C-alpha cells in the first residue's frame, strides 16, 4: 500500500467514490500497527457522518439461497433509489477458502450496479477480528452515503451473534420443511431474529413454504412468548422469482419504525457500542496474556494439571495470572 493521506482518503469516502471506500476498508482490515493507527484516525474523522443507514443482518444455513436473496433484495432497493452495501462475516473464509465469496460471480447483477457496493468477508482469521473489521467497514459504507447496509453471515460458530450485535434488524432465511429446518438452525438464533423469510416459495413449493412459515410462527410463540415487545414477522419469499420482496422490505421498515419509538434504536446502538468496547477489551487482554512468553510456556503444564485433577481450576488460573500480572 502506498503512503496514505488520511484526510484525502476521508474526503474520497465522503464523496462516495467506490475505489476510495474499498481502499479505506482495506486499511481498516490491515494488521499492520501503523495502518491500524491510520485506520482509527480515518474512522474518527468519519464517525460524525455515520449511523444513518438501515443496518440489516441476513443469516441462513448454506443452501437456503442467501446470495440470490441478497442480490434480488439489493436490486429491489436500488430500484427504490437506495444505495446498498453488502458486507459479510464469515470466519470460515480464512480456513476453508470461504463459503461466502462476496465476489462478482456470486451476485453478478448487483455487482454491476453502480449504486451497490459488495465487499467479501475479511480473510483475517478469528471471528473477533472478522466481525470488528466488518463493523468498521459498515461505518465506512455509511460515511460513503450507503443508505442500506446488508451484513451477511454463514452462521458459523458465534457469527450470528456478532452480526446481530452490529445491525438494527436481523433477518433469517429459512426453507420449507421447518421441522428439519429448525434442527439445522443454530441454537439460540431464533432469539436474535426480527424477521424470518421462508425462501424458495414458488410453484409447487408454495404450500410447503406456507406450512413452514406457520411452524416457525408457533415455534417463535413458544420460545419468545406472546407478549414479547416485538413479535417477529414470518413471511414467504422467492428470491428467484422476485416475489414477496416488497412485503419483506415493508417488514424491515415496520421494524425500523418500531425501533424509533421511545428511542429504542439509539438505546440499542449505545448498548451495542458499549458491548463491543468490552468484548474488544477482553479479547485484547486474552491476546496479551497468551502472548506473554512466561504464560505461554506455563499453559500446557497448567492445563494438564487442571485436567488431570492435580490442581483446581482456581489454582491454575492463579498461576497463569500471577505470571502475567507480575511479569515485569
Closer of 258 and 324 to its own copies (Cβ): 324
Q: What is the spatial distance between Cα 202 and Cα 199, in angstroms, rounded to a whole number?
A: 9
Residue 111, classified by CB atoms within 10 Å of its CB into exposed (0-12), middle (13-18) or buried (19+), is middle
Q: Does 276 bind its own copies (CB under 8 A)?
A: yes
Give CA separation, 26 vs 36, 38, 211, 247, in Å: 11, 12, 44, 35
Q: Does 225 bind its own copies (CB under 8 A)?
A: yes
Q: Determine the number of helices (DSSP H) and then strands (DSSP E) in the chain.
A: 14, 7
For residue 136, what are the contacts with CB-CB under 8 A and spacing of at least 6? 25, 28, 39, 43
In the complex, minimum distance from the CB of residue 119 to its own copies, in angstroms, rounded to a whole number: 18
Scan residues 194-223 and list those touching its own copies (CB under 8 A). 219, 222-223
Closer of 62 and 79 to its own copies (Cβ): 62
Number of residues that bind its own copies (CB under 8 A): 56
Give CA separation, 65 vs 37, 59, 71, 202, in Å: 39, 10, 10, 13
Candidate residues 26, 40, 243, 268; the one interacting with its own copies per rule CB under 8 A: 40
Reading the block at residue 305, the C-alpha cell is 494439571
Candidate residues 5, 260, 286, 301; the one interacting with its own copies per rule CB under 8 A: 286
Q: Does 50 bind its own copies (CB under 8 A)?
A: yes
Q: Does 76 bind its own copies (CB under 8 A)?
A: no
Closer of 1 and 321 to its own copies (Cβ): 321
For residues 150 and 134, the answer to whether their CB atoms sit within 8 Å is: no
For residues 190 and 219, the answer to whether their CB atoms sit within 8 Å is: yes
Q: Does 328 bind its own copies (CB under 8 A)?
A: yes
Strands (E) located in 108-257? 116-118, 148-153, 169-174, 195-198, 233-236
Give the interface segment with its own copies, choosing from 110-118, 169-177, 233-241, 312-320 (CB under 8 A).
Answer: 312-320
Scan residues 129-148 and list those touching its own copies (CB under 8 A). 132, 135-136, 139
Query: Residues interacting with its own copies, by CB under 8 A?
Result: 40, 43-44, 47-48, 50-51, 132, 135-136, 139, 179, 182-183, 187-188, 191, 219, 222-226, 270, 273-274, 276-277, 280-286, 288-289, 302-303, 306-307, 309-318, 320-321, 324-325, 328
Amino acid at each position: 500500500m502506498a503512503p496514505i493521506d488520511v484526510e484525502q482518503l476521508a474526503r474520497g469516502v465522503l464523496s462516495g467514490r467506490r475505489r476510495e471506500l474499498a481502499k479505506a476498508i482495506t486499511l481498516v482490515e490491515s494488521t499492520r500497527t501503523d495502518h491500524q493507527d491510520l485506520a482509527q484516525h480515518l474512522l474518527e474523522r468519519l464517525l460524525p457522518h455515520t449511523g444513518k443507514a438501515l443496518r440489516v443482518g441476513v443469516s441462513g444455513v448454506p443452501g437456503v439461497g442467501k446470495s440470490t436473496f441478497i442480490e434480488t433484495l439489493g436490486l429491489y432497493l436500488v430500484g427504490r433509489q437506495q444505495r446498498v452495501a453488502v458486507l459479510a462475516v464469515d470466519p470460515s473464509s480464512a480456513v476453508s477458502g470461504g463459503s461466502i465469496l462476496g465476489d462478482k460471480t456470486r451476485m453478478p447483477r448487483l455487482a454491476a450496479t453502480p449504486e451497490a457496493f459488495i465487499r467479501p468477508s475479511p480473510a483475517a482469521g478469528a471471528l473477533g477480528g472478522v466481525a470488528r473489521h466488518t463493523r468498521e467497514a459498515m461505518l465506512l459504507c455509511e460515511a460513503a452515503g450507503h443508505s442500506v447496509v446488508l451484513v451477511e453471515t454463514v452462521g458459523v460458530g458465534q457469527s450470528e451473534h456478532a452480526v446481530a450485535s452490529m445491525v438494527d434488524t436481523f433477518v433469517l432465511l429459512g426453507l420449507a420443511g421447518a421441522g428439519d429446518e429448525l434442527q439445522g438452525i443454530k441454537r439460540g438464533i431464533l432469539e436474535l431474529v426480527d424477521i424470518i423469510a421462508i425462501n424458495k416459495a414458488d410453484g409447487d413449493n408454495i404450500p410447503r413454504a406456507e406450512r413452514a412459515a406457520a411452524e416457525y410462527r408457533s415455534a417463535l410463540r413458544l420460545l419468545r412468548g406472546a407478549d414479547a415487545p416485538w413479535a417477529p414477522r414470518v413471511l414467504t419469499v422467492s428470491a428467484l422469482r422476485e416475489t414477496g420482496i416488497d412485503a419483506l422490505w415493508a417488514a424491515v421498515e415496520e421494524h425500523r419504525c418500531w425501533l424509533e419509538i421511545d428511542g429504542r434504536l439509539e438505546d440499542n446502538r449505545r448498548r451495542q457500542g458499549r458491548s463491543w468496547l468490552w468484548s474488544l477489551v477482553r479479547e485484547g487482554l486474552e491476546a496479551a496474556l497468551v502472548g506473554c512468553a512466561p504464560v505461554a510456556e506455563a499453559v500446557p503444564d497448567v492445563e494438564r494439571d487442571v485436567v488431570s485433577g492435580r490442581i483446581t481450576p482456581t489454582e491454575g488460573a492463579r498461576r497463569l495470572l500471577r505470571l502475567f500480572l507480575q511479569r515485569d
